[in-house]
Structure 1
Amino acid sequence: MTRAFARFWAADTVSLVGTHVTTIALAVLAMDVLQASTTELGVLRAAPFVPYLLFGLLAGVLVDRYRRRPILVGADLARAAVLGLIPTLHAVDALTMPSLVALVTVFGALSLVYDAAHQSFLPKLVPAEQLTTANARMEQTRATAQTVGPMVAGWLVKAVGAPFAILVDAVSYVVSGLVLATLRVPEKVNPPASRDLKRELREGLTWVYRHPVLAPLAVTSHAWFLFNSIVTTVYLKFVFDDLGFDAFQLGLTLALGGVGSVLGASLSGRVTTRLGFGPVIVLGRWLTPLAYLPVPFADSSTTGLVLLCAAQFGWGFGVGVDSPPEMGYRQAITPDHLQGRMNATIRSLNRGMIVLGAPLGGVLADAAGSRTAIWAGIAGLAGQAVAITRSPVRRVRETR
């Protein structure tokens, strides 16, 4: 791997750990300091993903029009400033739930732009044949942060309080932005002859949804995020309230998901080399509903806790195996001038599915019970697995 990729990877690692700190700290801040209701917590959870649903396609056009490194640096520094406002407002007793939701929404908009540029910048750093390996290494980092981040967050929130723990994430974005600013990677931008927004949007949508492989890959990915968000939303209430496990035990099950992701990402490159891109992606999509099967059968016993841990580990393993080849394939086959629009289109609609799926899971659980809602999510995940198995994706072996 190149030195430029090593710096890019380091910047991503720093900001990811900080992100998991903020995820926990925001929830504690809303519940303990601002006395948020369950509905308000749901709104707060959906807030950072709303911009993906509303403006995701526009972000793709922006990224394809300009050099990506300055966008990454600017978005990192701007996110640091937004997060820094949270403890500042708290210190002057001016922080409210509406202002917190507004700040988190702005943060989500900046993350939207960053994510579109981030995924489109990686092909500039490594050759096409190394994209799966590079994505696997970054997936390992994400999985490790998912395992370690919540534990660090718990300690920081207890030591300095939730508002000021968020400063850690703000600092992490400053560090990430400064590291990215040191990259010296040539970026040649070929702007369109005319800045026709509708035409540029149409080009991105056409590339994704009329491509024989990208189209089923994208549509089933949207379905995966919709039904997975139903399960993950209900899972927290099911484990904590219905089964009566404490916060440490809940965190333990989630940490096992990170461990599974690390292992899956570690094996992903070798499995992809042996089986090919398509079969590994299909395998990963099946592992999610299969991994979740033990969850509705869990009870409040030690055996129940083991079932939950096994389910999260299997889920994480599937994501770790699937994500690198899926991202590597998308990046390798997409022309550079469409990278931003391709990534933003797929990622934005994926995140938009969370905005729909999370409240839908809550409604289903309230109306029919947690186990029924989880079964509904599993059924939907099995449906997307069947769909991608019957699609041309399964026949893809190489990126040529």
Structure 2
Amino acid sequence: MTQTAQPRGETAAAPTSLWRNRNFMLLWFGQGAGTLGPRTALIVLPVLALDTLHAGTFQVSLLTSLGWLPYLLFSLPAGVLADRLDQRKIMIFCDVARLLLILSVPLIALAGRLTLWYLYAVVGVSGVLTVLFTVAYRSQLPKLVSASQLVDGNGKLGMCESLAEVAGPGLGGALVGLVGATRTLYANVLTYALSALTLGLIRVPKSEQGPPAGARPVPFRAAMGEGLTFVRKQVILRRLLLCTSVCNFFVTAASSIAVTFLLRDLHASATTVGLVFTLGSVGGLVTGAFARRISARIGSARVIWVSMLLPGPLYFLMPLSQPGWGVFLYAVGLAALSANSTLFNTAALSYRQLVCPRGLLSRVSAVYLWISYGVVPLGSLFGGALATGAGLRPALWVCVLGMWSASLFVVFSPLRRMREVQLPEAAAA
């Protein structure tokens, strides 16, 4: 059982509360800042391309595509690098490099030399660095907290992401209105600086630094395949990956048409649309704050499939939304999806961190990023094409059915017969 397994990281001295764990608080604060920056950039970079560079609709859409493309191209090699090198130093390097890239944009713009191609290059290279950072980041928490605190830690980190989703776009839009898109990028630079600073202050135990002792070198291509092989042989990890990927596909499809549906079919104002998405993020904040208690009450294994199955009926409120006050039905459905996402991701990530051998964790995380994030651009294209052919509301019905259907992968899995996560002997050693 999770509670009796040999803990990882600073197990003996792990504090009762994570709020009193210095290393965790530095990671929590730094990643709160590091997540907020890219969320503001989601608003700032398209505005910069439209207003300053007079880009067209398709040219702006390429910015989003270039941000996601590195997950398809670089996740697997990034996993090998993260398992072989010092992960904290990798993360600091990525923060500093992204800081310099983003900082170059307003400086070049002030000189009057900014081009759309340069903006594409910045987004593309930043995307590669973000992939490497994310793969290394997913392996950090087990080094800083005990095994019994993983769910609580992942829940609190997930709460940071939800806060960033609430505050980031609004903050970006407000700053653009106050100081302009170019100057707003300085705020993005500040968030990367804070992230790098807090990572630098973290003190990882020497036993957790670098690759595991006695690890034998494996050719690079073979090392990439080890992560895939491990996931393929572990039935629960395989089901979790399928569940996450299918859900991501349909969630992205719905997201790609959500604003158009709210504005055109429901005749909502831009302010109302912003309020709907803000209220929709509340579910993730609540479940992130109480993830440990929810998991303890339901069970660390059972909560994975329960979090996918139970909120599903509320998703149907999204296509059932109507003009006027009925628009807030969409917010309720979105809040249910946000709660599901945070709780499921917290429990599933904690499971992965517990059962994966330490020297393989980054490569397994890379496999998840490669597949589950790789479907994101495909989902966006599917949503747009379906809405064009069948209409916005029918397309939303298909999307919410698809989201809920993803739960079948974990409902009909060994997790349904388990209450708590049981560690394989290889992972506990």
TM-score, length of structure 2 as denominator length? 0.89
CA offset at residue 101 of structure 1?
2.3
* Contact 1:277 1:326 survives alignment (8 Å): no
The 5 A counterparts of 1:294-309 are 294-303=317-326, 305-309=327-331
1:265 is the counterpart of 2:284: no
- The AA in structure 2 aligned to 1:297 is L
CA offset at residue 192 of structure 1?
4.7
1:148-201: CA deviations, max 9, x gaps? 222222221111111221221112101211221122212142375334122211
* Contact 2:240 2:409 survives alignment (8 Å): no
* Contact 1:276 1:397 survives alignment (8 Å): yes
Counterpart Cα distance in 2 of 1:65 and 1:288: 40
Q: Which residue of 2 aligns with 1:234?
A: 257
* Contact 1:25 1:166 survives alignment (8 Å): yes
Q: Is the alpha carbon distance of 1:44 and 1:62 closer, same or farther for their aligned partners in structure 2, counting shifts above 3 Å?
A: same
1:311 is the counterpart of 2:333: yes
* Contact 2:84 2:211 survives alignment (8 Å): yes
1:369 is the counterpart of 2:391: yes
Counterpart Cα distance in 1 of 2:344 and 2:223: 30
1:283 is the counterpart of 2:301: no
Counterpart Cα distance in 2 of 1:346 and 1:379: 23
The 5 A counterparts of 1:244-259 are 244-259=267-282
Structure 2 gap ranges (5+): 1-17, 423-429
- Name which of structure 1's ranges 72-81 and 91-100 shifts more when overlaid on structure 2: 91-100
- The AA in structure 1 aligned to 2:352 is R
Q: Which residue of 2 aligns with 1:113?
A: 132
1:31 is the counterpart of 2:50: yes
Counterpart Cα distance in 1 of 2:328 and 2:66: 33
Counterpart Cα distance in 2 of 1:241 and 1:225: 25
Correspondent of 1:64 among 83, 106, 113: 83
Q: Which residue of 1 aligns with 2:103?
A: 84
Correspondent of 1:224 among 244, 247, 255: 247
Q: Which residue of 2 aligns with 1:9?
A: 28
Counterpart Cα distance in 1 of 2:398 and 2:190: 41
Q: Is the alpha carbon distance of 1:36 and 1:302 closer, same or farther for their aligned partners in structure 2, counting shifts above 3 Å?
A: farther
- The AA in structure 1 aligned to 2:93 is G
Counterpart Cα distance in 2 of 1:118 and 1:209: 23
Q: Is the alpha carbon distance of 1:395 and 1:91 closer, same or farther for their aligned partners in structure 2, counting shifts above 3 Å?
A: farther
Q: Is the alpha carbon distance of 1:299 and 1:346 closer, same or farther for their aligned partners in structure 2, counting shifts above 3 Å?
A: same
- The AA in structure 2 aligned to 1:335 is P
1:324 is the counterpart of 2:346: yes
1:122 is the counterpart of 2:141: yes
The 5 A counterparts of 1:336-355 are 336-355=358-377
- The AA in structure 2 aligned to 1:349 is I
Q: Which residue of 2 aligns with 1:170?
A: 189
CA offset at residue 289 of structure 1?
4.2
Counterpart Cα distance in 1 of 2:59 and 2:309: 34
- The AA in structure 1 aligned to 2:177 is K
CA offset at residue 395 of structure 1?
3.0
* Contact 1:216 1:393 survives alignment (8 Å): no
Counterpart Cα distance in 2 of 1:22 and 1:183: 27
* Contact 2:91 2:136 survives alignment (8 Å): yes
1:390 is the counterpart of 2:412: yes
Q: Which residue of 2 aligns with 1:153?
A: 172
Q: Which residue of 1 aligns with 2:93?
A: 74
- The AA in structure 1 aligned to 2:219 is D
SS at match of 2:139: helix
1:328-353: CA deviations, max 9, x gaps? 11111111101110111102221111
Q: Which residue of 2 aligns with 1:183?
A: 202
* Contact 1:254 1:309 survives alignment (8 Å): yes
* Contact 2:43 2:172 survives alignment (8 Å): yes
Counterpart Cα distance in 1 of 2:225 and 2:175: 46
Counterpart Cα distance in 1 of 2:201 and 2:417: 41
Counterpart Cα distance in 2 of 1:23 and 1:39: 16
* Contact 1:268 1:322 survives alignment (8 Å): no
Q: Which residue of 2 aligns with 1:95?
A: 114
Q: Which residue of 1 aligns with 2:151?
A: 132
* Contact 1:284 1:318 survives alignment (8 Å): yes
* Contact 1:264 1:319 survives alignment (8 Å): no
CA offset at residue 48 of structure 1?
1.0
Q: Is the alpha carbon distance of 1:298 and 1:32 closer, same or farther for their aligned partners in structure 2, counting shifts above 3 Å?
A: farther
Q: Is the alpha carbon distance of 1:287 and 1:249 closer, same or farther for their aligned partners in structure 2, counting shifts above 3 Å?
A: farther
Counterpart Cα distance in 1 of 2:269 and 2:109: 29
1:211-263: CA deviations, max 9, x gaps? 02111111111111111110111112211233332221111111112211111
Counterpart Cα distance in 1 of 2:235 and 2:351: 13
* Contact 1:267 1:321 survives alignment (8 Å): no
* Contact 1:287 1:314 survives alignment (8 Å): no
* Contact 2:242 2:409 survives alignment (8 Å): no
Instruction: State the aligned residue count.
Output: 399
SS at match of 1:213: helix
* Contact 2:268 2:324 survives alignment (8 Å): no
SS at match of 1:277: coil
Q: Is the alpha carbon distance of 1:368 and 1:337 closer, same or farther for their aligned partners in structure 2, counting shifts above 3 Å?
A: same
- The AA in structure 2 aligned to 1:229 is T
Q: Give 4+ residue runs of structure 1 displaced > 4 Å after superposition.
A: none
Counterpart Cα distance in 2 of 1:265 and 1:205: 29
